[in-house]
């Protein structure tokens, strides 16, 4: 097969699959996802140091960057009748570049924002989970002494801390790894007033 297109259609590879369809090209499609470990193999990084999709191999020539791939494919296969995807004049070609570079610099940053936000969210979640575990260890130690936070009996301190933690949050907070906290939280939420208010207000 002369042309290979590497990349899942659920990625920027869709741009290249679309161009290939417009150009009526035959190709072999390798639908690797953006997180496919093969993208970080040394042989792949030799072709595309960014380790990203789309990447094409056309008769042994490897190229990445979706818009440059499309310019290449259109120039190679799409400048004659009836396709006319690539202008034949110098000026027409310059305008095609102009709009492609404009999209890359003025629209693409907004597209990239989604991926960046995902990474930021993951990093923030990991960091706050670590802080949470440290806080739960502190709480566990405090409760281990008398079973409650202040004066050896239930006070508004227990209500406030248990109220912030709440059973639904506790389920995802890893509270069960902290034996005293887990037991104390159950005792707090089993109190008649806690049961009654949850029964009434859901």
* Interaction between residue 53 and ligand GSH (CB under 6 A): yes
The residue nearest ligand GSH at its CB is: 52
CB-based contact 19:74 (threshold 8 Å):
yes
Distance CA 107, CA 97 (A): 15
Closer by beta carbon to ligand GSH, 53 or else 175: 53
- Which of 3, 5, 6, 12 is the binder for ligand GSH (CB under 6 A)? 12
Q: Where are the beta strands (DSSP E) in the chain?
A: 3-6, 28-30, 55-58, 61-64
DSSP-derived letter for residue 106 is I
Closer by beta carbon to ligand GSH, 51 or else 147: 51
- Which of 11, 23, 70, 72 is the binder for ligand GSH (CB under 6 A)? 11
Query: Would strands 3-6 and 61-64 be described as parallel, antiparallel, or unpaired?
Result: unpaired
Q: Considering only CA atoms, which of 36, 39, 78, 74 is closest in space to residue 55?
A: 39
CB-based contact 68:85 (threshold 8 Å):
no
Closer by beta carbon to ligand GSH, 49 or else 192: 49
Per CB under 6 A, which of residues 179..198 are in contact with ligand GSH?
none
Per CB under 6 A, which of residues 21..40 are in contact with ligand GSH?
34
Q: Which residues bind ligand GSH (CB under 6 A)?
A: 11-12, 34, 51-54, 65-67
């Amino acid at each position: 097969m002369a042309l290979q297109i590497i990349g899942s259609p659920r990625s920027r590879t869709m741009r290249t699959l679309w161009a290939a369809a417009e150009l009526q090209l035959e190709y072999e499609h390798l639908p690797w996802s953006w997180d496919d470990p093969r993208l970080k193999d040394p042989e792949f990084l030799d072709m595309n140091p960014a380790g990203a999709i789309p990447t094409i191999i056309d008769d042994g020539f490897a190229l990445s960057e979706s818009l440059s791939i499309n310019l290449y494919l259109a120039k190679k296969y799409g400048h004659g009748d009836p396709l006319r995807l690539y202008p034949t004049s110098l000026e027409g070609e310059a305008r095609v570049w102009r709009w492609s570079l404009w999209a890359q610099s003025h629209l693409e940053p907004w597209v990239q924002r989604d991926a960046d936000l995902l990474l930021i969210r993951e990093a923030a979640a990991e960091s706050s989970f670590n802080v949470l575990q440290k806080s739960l260890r502190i709480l566990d130690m405090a409760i281990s002494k008398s079973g409650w936070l202040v004066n050896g009996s239930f006070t508004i301190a227990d209500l406030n801390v248990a109220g912030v933690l709440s059973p639904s949050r506790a389920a995802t907070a890893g509270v069960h790894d902290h034996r005293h906290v887990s037991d104390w939280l159950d005792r707090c939420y089993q109190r008649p007033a806690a049961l009654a208010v949850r029964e009434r207000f859901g």
